[in-house]
Structure 1
Amino acid sequence: MIIYAKCIRGTQIAHNKEEFILRQNEKYNVYCVGETTHSKSCDSLYCVPLNYIFDCLKYGDYIAIVEVKNELQDYPNHTSYLSSMIAMNQQKILRIFKAESYEAIDYVADNVLVQKCISDGYISSWFKEEFKEYFKERIPDYMK
């Protein structure tokens, strides 16, 4: 089953349900593990298959894992994530990681079993050298 994710800014993260409820009137959407974020006005909430998450780092430096009911078994292997993006009115957040972390790289490596489908996206220009190297070690057959 394909896992979907999105990149968010640290300022968009609520650390508990009470904070999440209090921050609903902010300009940008707020996300909290275990809670459902609803789109604001006519905006849609987007997410991509996990193998493309590093292509989305320009949207934020945290990765939120989104609950998506789907029957797809294989991760797409395109040159762009745009054709695989999903828009929705609400998103339940299952986990949040700092994108530039061993935990995030391990999560992608452990859950996208066909490594040639994983895109390195903005890693080469946005990650510190230690995380670039770890990505290459952990996911040596990534999509280049």
Structure 2
Amino acid sequence: MKRDASSGHSPLTALVAGTLFGAGLAMGGMTDPARVRSFLDLFGDWDPTLAFVMGGAVLVMAIAWRIQPRMVEPLFADKFALPGTSDLTSRLVLGSALFGIGWGIAGLCPGPAIASLALRPSSAAIFVVAMIAGMTIARMFEKEA
């Protein structure tokens, strides 16, 4: 299968990884905005489910970060695409704050929102359209700067 020149991986690899990710989000209940909002409600009816889902992701990534330096090349790509910087910028802080506010209000973030399109398309579509609009507006301002 032909590889994407920008990422170095095949569309099939992206499809399999995205499907696995979406299934994990759905199985973990992360496509349910009420469950996510309950996690953020520390003084009310708190639901720790999200902490377990995040803990599982951290565990998998900790293992991957230990294995990766020993690998000559990735299994499903031409080269590793690792972050090159750890600079803490005002843009990163502002973007993180806006992301957190939107996540807290909607109970969805991009991954679960896209997965929710298959489960609850009417409610998720509004969020996904707004998310794409926000990304477009941010890119317009980025080009001006």
Alignment TM class, shorter chain as reference? under 0.3
Which is greater in Rg? 2
TM-score (norm: length of structure 2): 0.26
TM-score (norm: length of structure 1): 0.26
When you count strand as a share of all residues, which structure comes out higher? Answer: 1
When you count helix as a share of all residues, which structure comes out higher? Answer: 2
